[in-house]
Structure 1
Amino acid sequence: MSETTAASDAGQTEAGGGASAAPEKPEGAAAPGTEAGTGSGDPAAQDPAGAAKAPPSSGDGPGAEPAPAPEGFMAHLDPEVAKDLQPKGYKTANELAKAYLKLESKIGEKGIIKPGEDAPQEDWDAYYAAIGRPESPENYDLGEFQPPEGVPWNEEAQQGFLQAMHKAGAPQAAVQAALDYYGSFLAEQQEALQTQAEEETQAAERELRKEFGRAYDERLDLANRVVREFGGKELAAELEKSGFGRNKTLVKALASIGEAMSEDGELIGSVTAKGFGLNQQDARKELDSLTKDPEKRKILTDNAHPEHQDLIARRKRLYELAYPAGGEK
């Protein structure tokens, strides 16, 4: 074939509309739209829309997986609330309620959280101030509190009490209540002691009247004169305060001392020696009453009676006063 014929055949092939075989790809050549040697195409170039697909998202951060939908009781909560509660792992509403109550027990009425045992003193001072403790013991407002009348009250002890309460963190209301209670308690105790003292006095008087008989007033006067002469008002006050003035045994002893001193004319208040402070006319009346009293006569004749010796001595002294030596009998 001539060269002209070959060229003509080639031109017909290029210009013709018929199908022809694609030229072979040279070995090692990259496919259209790919880098040589990678063996894979660009996703953006392969995607018909020409855009890359974003990775799946969860949560708020880039690339995070979406949070699971709330389940159970949390499905009924606001989404934001459920979102915050889900990580805490509450399975039921009962578990959530228990957790809340436990937290509430650690918080005071005003929302004040009590410091831990190892908390610094500054934290405790702030806590005490928040619950109502004043800055110092002297700043406790005692209001209208007054120590009960008639009750010994130690001001120094009161200050010590306030200091101890302040150190313990006691608020104003607690200290006020404690003082009010203690004051009322002491007043009740004082009233009970007074009642008891009156009952003891009445009981002692009954026993002494029974033992002294008609001579009760005179012998009691003798006992009181001994106290006044040798102890004065101070001893009388101490006997009353201590309760010994109601002691039957002591009163009898003082009366006997008074009688003995009257015999020697040593006791102030005796009108005459051995005279109980009675004049002659009174002594005669007393002696007449004694001898006419059946009970006294029985005692005078009964040597075993506990009042026999005292009554014999009394009758003798009355005779000496009523009928002095050389006097009328």
Structure 2
Amino acid sequence: MNTQNIPQNWQQTLPAEWTIKNAREDGREEEIPLREHPTLKNYTSKDEAVKALVHAQRLLGKTPEGYIRVPEGQGDDEQRNTLYSALGRPDHPEGYTLPDIDLPDGYEMQEDMINGFKNAAFRLGLTAEQVAGLYQWFLPLVIDTHHTMQAETNQLRERELESLRAVHRGRTPHMLDSALRAAEALGGKELIHALDSTRAGDHAAVINAFAKVAPLVLESGMRSPGQGWGEELSREKLREMMQDPRYHDPNKRDPEYVKTVRKGFETLYPGDYIPGSRL
């Protein structure tokens, strides 16, 4: 029997024109003859290779044991929850344990914010380790940012106050009181809250503006309803006002002036008041 024409291996029996793409070591693909593909060297015969191919075809479309398919879209919540649980997400948001972090004096974490953080992490499928790490990184960052903003606010307030002192000198406290009472008279607590929350009330230009209009809106410095009277309202001041003819002289009595004096008594002595009984 002549063995010179028998191929050395069964791969050589495959037609040379059968080609297939193969990845090289540098990652690029090249077209090579199928019979030279390195995978075929794992099989000792053509029959063994064909059996392996048939077996692989039978496995297509089946889910291997322990395999979890990644859900597509937003519809399959059950499959997504299964995946998140397999990755390490707790069974419920309360299952997250946050690390203890020393907070500066005056700081505390609100329960609603903590619960919101855990609920958001649960919806995103984060693991317990991921949530703990994120919290440990984010919270100190928030505190540092708040410290920086507070320091900048204090510096602004002090800088603006110094500019007021340079102009008004010893009358600065009186000017500040007048500006506060004017703001209360014009807009009440809502305006004061707006000035505080926006930090507009820290600016010297805003304070000066309210101080300038104070004489026009405070009716001789006593218009503010029960707030902001400051140093101008006292028992001695009210006694002095009662000596004015507009108050005690029936022929010169001014109802608006009398009303102002009554408001002063109501401010100093809240509750039932009988004019003249407390001086």
Tell me which interval the TM-score lies in, with the shorter structure as reference length.
Answer: 0.3 to 0.5
TM-score, normalised on structure 2? 0.46
Larger radius of gyration: 1
> Which of structures 1 and 2 has the larger relative contact order (alpha carbons within 8 angstroms, sep 6+)?
2
TM-score, normalised on structure 1? 0.40
